[in-house]
Amino acid sequence: MSLTGNRQMMNEGKSNSILVSGESGAGKTETTKLLMRYLAFLGGRSGTGGRTVEQQVLESNPVLEAFGNAKTVRNNNSSRFGKFVELQFDKSGKISGAAIRTYLLERSRVCQTSSPERNYHCFYFLCSAPSEDIKKYKLGDPSSFHYLNQSSCIRVDGINDAEEYLATRNAMDMVGITEEEQEAIFRVVAAVLHLGNISFAKGTEADSSVIKDAKSRFHLNTAGELLMCDCEKLENALIKREINTPEGVITTTVGPNSATVSRDGFAKQIYSRLFDWLVNRINASIGQDPSSDKLIGVLDIYGFESFKTNSFEQLCINFTNEKLQQHFNQNVFKMEQEEYTREQINWSYIEFVDNQDVLDLIEKKPGGIIALLDEACMFPKSTHETLSQKLYEKFKNHKRFAKPKLSRTAFTIQHYAGDVIYQSDHFLDKNKDYVVAEHQELLNASRCSFVSVLFPPAPEENTKSSKSSSIATRFKMQLHELMETLSSTEPHYIRCVKPNSVLKPAIFENTNVLQQLRCSGVLEAIRISCAGYPTRKLFHDFLHRFRILAPEILKEKNDDKTTCQKVLDKIGLEGYQIGRTKVFLRAGQMAELDARRTEVRNTAARGVQSQLRTHVAREQFLILRNASVCLQSFVRARLACKLHGFLRQQAAALKIQKNIRRYFARRTYSQLCLSAITLQTGLRTMAARNEFNSRNQNKASIHIQSRWRRHRDNLSYIKLKRAALTYQCAWRGRVARRELRQLKMAARDTQALKVAKEKLEERVEELMSRLSLEKKLRTDLEKSKATEISKLQSALHDMEQRVEEAAAMKENESAKKAVEEALAQEREKISSLTSEIEGLKVLLVAEREENDVTKKAHSNAQERNEELNRKVQDADEMIKQLNDIVKRLEETVREGEALLLTEKQQNEEASAALAESHLRDQAFAIKIEEAEKQITLLQENVERFEYSMADLQSSLTIEKQQHEASVVELAEAQGKIEELLREVGDADEKSTLLQTTVQRLEERLTENDTLSTTERQESEATKKLLNEVQSKNEELLKKLEDSGKNIVHYQDTTQRLEESVAAVEISLKAERQQNDVVMKQLADAQVEIVELQRNLEGADKRNSLLQDSLQ
């Protein structure tokens, strides 16, 4: 379609227009982009600043889509404005300028959006901008703004708002919008969002309003900062009005609803001015060519819309589509058939649906819907109900107008694409274009030049507080201008058909598609195209174009009509018709004529080309022949020069070969002489070397025998040392067994731990003494090594002297060489011996480091022993504290006795129970005395307990009415029983510790192979004793549990005293836990000492191995 329009413009010099129409979401905007891209490809001319005009035109689409497109129910990228792009061409067919005209931006969408639609794209792009822009404009998530969160749809699949924001900025750069202007544009867009978040509340006075809360105040201040105007004046412009009267200017306040309406009107006015500025700025950047008389216009306007709720915008949009449909009908049906009649050709008239009555219903003046709407807007008291009643009365008999049954404000219009129900609730508000004087003055005084340009000062005659104009009337005038422009061009129509209503590929709804084709007149257009004559040419134009098909007919002197008839007859076309002034051709016949014309022109061109090629080929042949003669003479000269050079090279080669043969013969002879001399010297050297080696072997055997004797003596010394060590181990085992018997004898005494610690210290001292002995042995070994090294050095010195003497005796040169080689071998042996000595030194250093490690471990063990001593001292202090606690308990018993004296009541049952418990306690005390003979410290506590119990029994027999005191005494007895249980537990722990020490001693004894059977029997006897002690302790525990069960029924009455004793018990438990920790640390220290002993024994073994290796 673009190519056809361009060819027609270039061939016939006529302006063309391409009208893209269809339902909303059918693909009109995308089709327009493809058309513009192809037209820009056909003719491009560089513009100012290095940018081409076609690039600027194409990049204007993303800018206008960002600010004029939005998501609707039927389309994710629906155009909410009309656009007519005029591409101007010069005489050569290059683009020389362009202009964009826009129609009826849907301003109400800025403030009102229904779900699941969205507001204009630019708002969402800006909310997804980089973080620095978000921070600069104080924006956030789109759902936090009132103008964006009215719909549940925030994001659309397939649209990345962040990427689109950057693409829009790049497109602005391409169309010539500077960085400062872009900054101002998005600052205004952000200000509109902040204006929408300003809420109003009722003021103290009647019909007044104030800013609702701090959040609204923040958005008010932010909007003022972005618009660079005074925030206080902005607030007054929203909540106050100035009325001009003859007496002066009166300032009044408005209510919250009126303030909200004023805010929305202010936001719509700002956005509308911004959109108009963008269009003008793009046109100014692209530029127009006033000298151009040819253009191609591309119309992309909103498609036919029918939603659940249709308002003023849908009426204007559908009115536009009715206008375009009428233009289509006039060009395709009316004008076509009228021309057939005017030219008097055979033709049968084709009926079509005319929509003129719908246009009269909407735009007729007076009496149309738009006229009635403007009339209602002029009356302040008019409402949407009165408007609806006027429409019902005026058009009740109109065939295209109907009133729904269940509504008082809706009406139905039968459009060419179907019936649409309109709701007139907001018709009056949307038709009024309010320009409040306070808003105009406020933004005109802005410190930002961009904002002040958007709101220039109003003319002097408009001195009212606000001016109201009709949007419908202004839109009707714009449409009239558009129709005039289209009528002056040759139209081409593109019908976009929407395949389905779910916006998904590979789905084709037959019924819906057929309805679109039928309503848009496509079927009638196809019918008339098939039956009619779409191509027509004037006689003169036809002959001028196709005269080359029959040049002999033009020589005849006939009129144009007859000549055309003869040309067509000669060509053999059928179905054409000749009118009064034009030739009418069927569809495809014009293409056939063009093909034949092209064939004739191609045949003539081929003849001309063949003659021209013949001439060029002859000229080239002559040039090549002259060039070949010159080339042949030059080649012959070159060949003769090469032959002369070859002969000279051959003679020189013969001389070179003769000299080379002589050189090789002389070199071979000299090599043979040198080889004979070398063999003779080698044989003499071999004989001298053999004699020298025999002498060296004799010396080495003597040296080896001396070394072997020393090694044998050293082995005997090592065996003696090992025997001494085994004897020492047996002696230590005997000492350890003695210690075991002493530990068994002291198992019942707590002081045994201290004695064991002292013995362990003695053992540590013994280990230290052993370490000192080992040091002495090591020093002795080092001394012996030093002496050996000195002996080796002296031997080496002697051998060197002998070698020197032998060298002096040798006079022959070959013998000297042999002696030097022998000296070199001896030196290698000496170096190997020195390297072995150095390795032994390294081993000595490693042993010293291991000894240092053992010393450090020994020092750590001493430190741990000191810590254990401290912990033992702490345990002694804890025992003292426990004795203090026992004394305190005795004092509490005495206080209980005083309470017994003061009480005068008697309880026989309690006394009997107390007597029984006393008898049980006595029996239990006897058993405890038998079990605790080994623990002397606890006997004192048991005796005190028995004395206190005896005193309590005597006091109970004297005073029988002392129930509460007896309960206290029972509580004390229970507490002491628990203490005894703990003491028994301590005894068990001590016995377990003793058992562990016995096991460790047994392990040490088992390592010695000389353990006697008597000592094993003694260890088994100690084990049996320990087992008997544990069994007795278990029996005592069982008896204590039985006695505790008998005292359970007294616990309810003794809770008061148990709470006082609970704290003491907790402290005692803590002290016992600390004692247990100390005992465990002592056991760990013992284990560490054993490990040290093992390490020392390992060090002894390594030292012995080192001594063996040194020997």
DSSP, residue by residue, 700-767:
HHHHHHHHHHHHHHHHHHHHHHHHHHHHHHHHHHHHHHHHHHHHHHTTTSTTHHHHHHHHHHHHHHHH
More confident call, 885 vs 998: 885
Q: Is 329 helix (H, G, I), strand (E, B) or coil?
A: helix
Report the pLDDT value the prediction gives residue 1009, as an integer from 0 to 100.
Answer: 45
- On whether 965 is known to bind a ligand per the annotation, the reply is no
Structure token digits, residue 179: 């960085």
More confident call, 690 vs 333: 690
Query: pLDDT of 1091-1104, one tens digit each?
Result: 656 765 765 676 66
* C-alpha–C-alpha distance, residues 64 and 185, integer Å: 13
pLDDT at position 184 over 90: yes
pLDDT at position 292 over 90: no
Report the pLDDT value the prediction gives residue 973, as an integer from 0 to 100.
Answer: 53
The percent of residues in the chain predicted with pLDDT above 90, rounded, is 17
Report the pLDDT value the prediction gives residue 307, as an integer from 0 to 100.
Answer: 79
Query: pLDDT of 896-929, one tens digit each?
Result: 556 556 655 555 554 554 455 456 555 545 654 5
- On whether 47 is known to bind a ligand per the annotation, the reply is no
pLDDT at position 488 over 50: yes
More confident call, 1099 vs 336: 336
Query: pLDDT of 26-51, one tens digit each?
Result: 888 888 888 888 888 887 654 444 56
pLDDT at position 532 over 80: no
More confident call, 1057 vs 670: 670
Question: 218: pLDDT confidence band, cut at 50, 70 and 90?
Answer: very high
Report the pLDDT value the prediction gives residue 467, as an integer from 0 to 100.
Answer: 44
* C-alpha–C-alpha distance, residues 366 and 641, integer Å: 110
Question: 961: pLDDT confidence band, cut at 50, 70 and 90?
Answer: low
Report the pLDDT value the prediction gives residue 97, as an integer from 0 to 100.
Answer: 85
Across 546-557, average pLDDT: 82
More confident call, 392 vs 955: 392
Report the pLDDT value the prediction gives residue 461, as an integer from 0 to 100.
Answer: 46
Spatial strand order of the sheet with 95-103 comes to 95-103, 82-89, 294-300, 16-22, 490-496
Across 558-586, average pLDDT: 84
Q: Which helix (H) or strand (E) holds 244?
A: strand 240-245
Across 1056-1071, average pLDDT: 57
* C-alpha–C-alpha distance, residues 901 and 956, integer Å: 10
pLDDT at position 178 over 50: yes
Report the pLDDT value the prediction gives residue 55, as an integer from 0 to 100.
Answer: 81
Q: Which helix (H) or strand (E) holds 949?
A: helix 936-958
Q: What is the pTM of this model?
A: 0.53
Report the pLDDT value the prediction gives residue 970, as an integer from 0 to 100.
Answer: 55
More confident call, 931 vs 136: 136
* C-alpha–C-alpha distance, residues 65 and 278, integer Å: 12
Structure letter (DSSP) for residue 74:
S
Q: Write down the number of H helices and E strands in the chain.
A: 32, 19
Helices (H), 395-458: 427-431, 437-444, 449-454
Across 668-672, average pLDDT: 90
Give the pairing type, strands 294-300 and 16-22: parallel
The percent of residues in the chain predicted with pLDDT above 70, rounded, is 66
Angle at 289 between CA 287 and CA 292, to 5 degrees: 155
Query: pLDDT of 775-830, one tens digit each?
Result: 777 677 777 767 766 776 676 677 667 656 655 665 555 555 655 665 566 666 66
In angstroms, the first-to-last Cα distance of the chain is 112
Report the pLDDT value the prediction gives residue 967, as an integer from 0 to 100.
Answer: 53
Contacts of 39 by beta carbon, 8 Å cutoff, 6+ apart:
2, 6, 54, 87, 95, 296, 298
Name the one residue in this structure whose structure tokens are 């690039």: 55
Across 1037-1041, average pLDDT: 59
Structure token digits, residue 438: 């306070």
Sorted by where each starts, the structural domains of the chain and their CATH numbers stand as 2-310+434-468 (1.20.120.720), 333-423 (1.20.58.530), 533-585 (3.30.70.1590), 752-773+824-1089 (no CATH)
Report the pLDDT value the prediction gives residue 413, as an integer from 0 to 100.
Answer: 93
Report the pLDDT value the prediction gives residue 48, as an integer from 0 to 100.
Answer: 46
Question: 197: pLDDT confidence band, cut at 50, 70 and 90?
Answer: very high
Report the pLDDT value the prediction gives residue 1109, as an integer from 0 to 100.
Answer: 60
For residue 370, which of 328, 405, 422, 325 has the smallest C-alpha distance?
A: 422
Q: Is 350 left (phi over 0), alpha (psi -120 to 50) or beta?
A: beta
Across 300-326, average pLDDT: 85
More confident call, 505 vs 147: 147
Query: pLDDT of 611-640, one tens digit each?
Result: 999 999 999 999 999 999 899 999 999 999
Q: Is 410 helix (H, G, I), strand (E, B) or coil?
A: strand
Across 316-322, average pLDDT: 88
Contacts of 867 by beta carbon, 8 Å cutoff, 6+ apart:
1081
For residue 1105, which of 853, 786, 781, 676 has the smallest C-alpha distance?
A: 781
Query: pLDDT of 144-169, one tens digit each?
Result: 999 999 988 888 888 899 999 999 99
- On whether 214 is known to bind a ligand per the annotation, the reply is no
Across 832-836, average pLDDT: 65
Query: What are the contacts of 708-715 at 24+ separation with CB within 8 A?
Result: 710/1111, 711/1111, 714/1107, 714/1108, 714/1111, 715/1108, 715/1111
Structure token digits, residue 346: 């055979």
Averaged pLDDT score across all residues of the chain = 77
More confident call, 9 vs 661: 661
Contacts of 692 by beta carbon, 8 Å cutoff, 6+ apart:
818, 819, 822
- Lowest-confidence pick of 1-10, 34-43, 427-436, 879-888: 879-888
CA distances in angstroms from 895 to 224, 907, 917, 948, 969, listed in the order given: 86, 20, 21, 12, 10
Query: pLDDT of 415-458, one tens digit each?
Result: 887 889 999 988 888 887 666 778 888 888 889 999 999 988 86
- On whether 28 is known to bind a ligand per the annotation, the reply is yes
Report the pLDDT value the prediction gives residue 167, as an integer from 0 to 100.
Answer: 94
